[in-house]
Structure 1
């Protein structure tokens, strides 16, 4: 599972995307923390199409229900847009929600909601905090303590506390939140493009007659999940995010 590395890279891009908003809005420690949390969770969102993923487990029945719905949508979109040259597949995991188009659409919807209401920003923070926390918690050693910390009631409760602290602390809400979500989702999709399978980054455009062409880095540079290159990406992103955040505060 790439959950820890997805969360770590999303955390880094969340900080960087939020910092890039400085010319048009005030960016302080609260905004950087919120951006990190949203980015970490958003990077896991492409896996909402898998009912046993970290995303599906993060908030119990809420995220499991969303995962089933997202999987159904992915299958339906695949069935209606596939071409004769596409490789036969079920269209469920690593299809629609791993596309830049899905990231842009989700980011636009979230950005609109966050611009309209601080409450909606709080809900986005609660949701993404849970995803990011559960993803990063998988770096902990296996055991009873890890199992307790990773249970969805604990994750949801801690996420609610964190979201409330940020909202009541005056974190800015606005359309920039959607940009952080979109970049985070794209970061997660690109991360999967480093692995053996690749992702449909060109959808809905055709690549050699295929709408669902699986694209990634050159095959010689790809790696399997759980191997040392993934750990380097994970810990390198966490260190870079920490250094960048401290430098910006």
Structure 2
């Protein structure tokens, strides 16, 4: 599973995307930390279509229900839009939610909500922070402590405390949250494009007659999950993210 590396790359991308918003808003430590939380969780969101994913386990019954709903939506959209040239598939995992269209649409909705209400921003922070915490916790050594930290009640409570601290700390509410979530989701999808499976980055446009063409790096340069290239990306991002916060704060 790529959840730890998704969360790590999203963490870094969230900080950098938030910093890039500086010409349009005031960006300080609260915003950079919020961006890290939003990005880490959003990079895992494309896997909302899998019932055993980190996303599905993060907030217990809530995310399990969302995962089943997202899986059904993905399968239906695939069934209705697939061409005769597309490979036979159920359209559930690594389809709709791994497209740039899904990332942009989710980002726009989050941005509109966060701009309209600080309550919405707090809820989004809580949700994404929970995903990010569970993803990052998988980098810890295996054992009872890690197992306890990864239980959904602990994750949900920790995310609530973290989100409350960010809101109380004065994080600005505005469309920046949507930008970070959208870029974070795209980062997660592109990360899967580095592996041997590829993702449907061109949807809804057809590539050689296939609307769900799986696109990625040239096959010789792709890698399997759990191998050293993925670990290099993961730990490089984990080290770079806090350094970026310190440099930009």
Answer yes or no: same fold by TM over 0.5: yes
Which TM-score band (shorter chain)? Answer: over 0.9
1:234 aligned residue: 234
Q: Does 1:41 align with 2:41?
A: yes
Q: Name the TM-score, length of structure 1 as normaliser.
A: 0.99
Displacement, 1:194? 0.4
Q: Runs of at least 4 residues of structure 1 off by over 4 A?
A: none
Kindly tell me the number of residue pairs found equivalent between the two proteins.
Answer: 249
Deviation string, structure 1 residues 27-81 (Cα, Å, up to 9, x no partner)? 0000000000000000000000000000000000000000000000000000000
* Distance in structure 1 (CA, Å) of the matches to 2:136 and 2:223: 20
2:213 aligned residue: 213
* Distance in structure 2 (CA, Å) of the matches to 1:222 and 1:128: 28
Displacement, 1:20? 0.3
Q: 1:56-71 maps to which residues of 2 (within 5 A)?
A: 56-71=56-71
SS where residue 200 of structure 1 aligns? coil
Q: Name the TM-score, length of structure 2 as normaliser.
A: 0.99
SS where residue 13 of structure 1 aligns? helix
Deviation string, structure 1 residues 206-239 (Cα, Å, up to 9, x no partner)? 1000000000001111111111111000000111
Displacement, 1:176? 1.1
SS where residue 186 of structure 1 aligns? helix
* Distance in structure 2 (CA, Å) of the matches to 1:136 and 1:64: 19
Deviation string, structure 1 residues 1-43 (Cα, Å, up to 9, x no partner)? 1001000000111001000000010000000000000000000
1:150 aligned residue: 150
Deviation string, structure 1 residues 100-138 (Cα, Å, up to 9, x no partner)? 000000000010110011011000000000000000000
Structural RMSD (CA): 0.5
1:21 aligned residue: 21
SS where residue 226 of structure 1 aligns? coil
* Distance in structure 2 (CA, Å) of the matches to 1:24 and 1:175: 10
Deviation string, structure 1 residues 171-216 (Cα, Å, up to 9, x no partner)? 0000111000000000000000000100000000010000000000
2:9 aligned residue: 9
SS where residue 119 of structure 2 aligns? helix
1:243 aligned residue: 243
